Structure 1
Amino acid sequence: MKQAWPGLLALAAVGAALSACSSSPGKETPHKPIITLVGDSTQTDNQGYGLGFCANLTREVECVNRAKGGASTKTYLRDGYWSKALSPKPDWMLIQFGHNDLQSAAHADRETDIKTEYPANLRNYIARAREQGIHPILVTPISRRYFGPDGKIHSDLTEHSEIVRRIAKEQNVPLIDLQQLSIDKLEQIGEEQGNTLGLTKIVDGKTVPDKTHFNTAGSYVFGRIAAEAMGRAVPELARYVRPEPAVR
């Protein structure tokens, strides 16, 4: 009977060792936490702060953006976006709604009653997340750039933001008060510089500032603010926030 070549025996031994290592319970790849954004266009990558938020997190965490333009607390669930947000299953979920929950004759299909439906929907998202073993984080809606003659922001989402704060306290959910943080930032830099962080739109043939959405520069500014606020609201996530602001 012919004997096997020494080289082949060595390769077989290496293969067996690698196989044993891959099947060893103690050698499994560590779980990388997943943080998912759930909200409207002000959270998206192309119109909101989502791009900048994810850029300001380290590679030790996976950032998934499931925000949807035009979504409200009513339509996000109704139109199936909530189901999509569950894959891949997040460990943490930043939930921000309000801009499209405002009552509007042009978009009556997505508006919600601020006294009843809006808070009930927020509680429903919290309950659904917890049922899936997901940790919810509530985010007050980021402010529009509505500057008054006094140089101050006159937000149309003050009442919605207060409801989010109240529910976060009631449900013992971490809170990112992005409404107040964005107002503070905008009032610090002023209207002219604030407009450089936003998109523009055409109205009656003229180019005017879009006072709701962000360009890439704005996404990085407010994404950094949101990421830092997350680290403060949930200390165990602070290590996933880059120590220095991300650069485009």
Structure 2
Amino acid sequence: MAMNEWKFDFGCGEAVSGYMKVTANTKYDIAVGFGFMDITRVTARDRKEPGALKRDLCIPADTSFRVDVPDGNYTVSLLMGDWILPACTTLKASPGRLLLRNRTVSAGQFIRETVAVYVQGGHMNLTFSGSAPRVNALEITPAPHAITLFLAGDSTVTDQPEDGFPYAGWGQMLPQLLKHDVVVANHAVSGRSSKSFIDEGRLDVILNEMKANDFLFIQFGHNDQKPDEERATEPSTTYKKYLQQYIDGARNKGAFPVLVTSVQRRYFEPNGQLQNTHGPYLEAVRELSSEQTVPLIDLAEMSKSLFEELGAEEAKSIFMWGAPGEFAHFPGGIEDNTHFQEQGAIRIAGLISKGIREAAIWPLTMFLR
């Protein structure tokens, strides 16, 4: 096996030639560099049917398989199926980045899915869940030439921590909507404005990783409205000037900037129309897009249409609105009109996908699922 390739055969018995065997008892060991984080939630089965990699499998019931790999972009190919039972698998890459959602496979059938994973911290954590998860084989290959879609933004975009589930940002849900040719590198951080993100050196981190033909999606505004000196910008002047730094930085690297207007909050007028809580910040982004000939995804307008179509009550299903006892990590309940629960973040990521298509952002349009 090449040093830059990892191939795993899941199940029972001997490994197929060229693969490392992973059984239900393969607990992660730093000395080995791979394994399940919780083997109490893993079962292995040998169906004793033909097909070297198809014969046996593991059933990882809501647990993670960790592989120590260098930081970078990777393609991950999974073989999933079961000779005698239907399978339904959801796959995420920590922290909570959705790669496959309820991928169903009929009994006796097998599929191979290839996804892209962005790794930071020296390890890849793949979390399996779903009503009937299955994994037969897994191959991990570096993808240094893949297009990287960098995200710069705030809490509505960021990878929310897994211990806050179902709290999620739309950037966390975006990978499932893109083919493995594009790797989503979500650098968005809660509480940041266009100014504080730069002042903290976060744009520099992106630009140091960025290569020609990558993309940078830029969505700020929520925290630029805040009055504190660290974050505050003025729509027609400093806000535009800070956004211009993202545009110039990407273009200097031979990459492509894309402006995204702020996603709307859930605040309605008595007549059922959504309040514009972002004021002139939205128009400032639209103006800058026109002035600098930068593609625009008008997420503010698209989310306004979605929320008004749903109505004030149904729109709660997008946001972190939960009754006491409804969300395990928020036992006392929560009423949040800004941040999304996972199902809502999936809907917003769908609007981003729609925006890519409508703005004809090439070649991303070719890589939409």
Q: If the length of structure 1 is used for normalisation, what is the TM-score?
A: 0.79
The residue number in structure 2 matching 1:72 is 193
Deviation digits for residues 168-225 of structure 1 (CA, Å, limit 9, x no counterpart): 01001000000000000000111111111111489xxx74521111011011000011
Cα drift, residue 108 of structure 1: 3.6
**Whole-angstrom CA distance in 1 between matches of 2:335 and 2:269:** 15
Q: Percent identity?
A: 34
Q: Which has the higher helix share?
A: 1
The residue number in structure 2 matching 1:198 is 319
- Larger radius of gyration between Structure 1 and Structure 2: 1
- Of 179-188 and 95-104, more deviation after overlay is shown by 95-104
Q: Which has the higher contact order (CA 8 A, sep 6+)?
A: 1
Cα drift, residue 237 of structure 1: 1.3
Q: Which has the higher strand share?
A: 2
- Counterpart amino acid of residue 151 in structure 1: G
The residue number in structure 2 matching 1:16 is none
1:31 is matched with which residue: 130, 138, 145?
A: 145
The residue number in structure 2 matching 1:101 is 224
Say if 1:137 and 1:195 are closer, same or farther in 2 by CA, change over 3 A. same
Residues 207 and 249 of structure 2 are in contact (CA less than 8 Å); yes or no, is this contact kept in structure 1? no
1:117 matched to 2:226? The reply is no
**Whole-angstrom CA distance in 1 between matches of 2:208 and 2:316:** 35
Q: The residue matched to 1:115 in structure 2 has which SS? A: helix
Cα drift, residue 87 of structure 1: 4.9
Moved over 4 A (4+): none
The residue number in structure 2 matching 1:231 is 357
Cα drift, residue 78 of structure 1: 0.4
- Counterpart amino acid of residue 308 in structure 2: E
**Whole-angstrom CA distance in 2 between matches of 1:123 and 1:86:** 14
Q: If the length of structure 2 is used for normalisation, what is the TM-score?
A: 0.54
**Whole-angstrom CA distance in 1 between matches of 2:181 and 2:248:** 27
Deviation digits for residues 100-143 of structure 1 (CA, Å, limit 9, x no counterpart): 00043xx3421112231111111122111111212100001111
- Counterpart amino acid of residue 163 in structure 1: A
- Counterpart amino acid of residue 240 in structure 1: F
Structure 2 spans left out of the alignment, 5+ residues: 1-142, 161-167, 324-331
**Whole-angstrom CA distance in 1 between matches of 2:237 and 2:199:** 17
The residue number in structure 1 matching 2:46 is none
2:302 is matched with which residue: 172, 181, 186?
A: 181
The residue number in structure 1 matching 2:172 is 51
Say if 1:67 and 1:148 are closer, same or farther in 2 by CA, change over 3 A. same
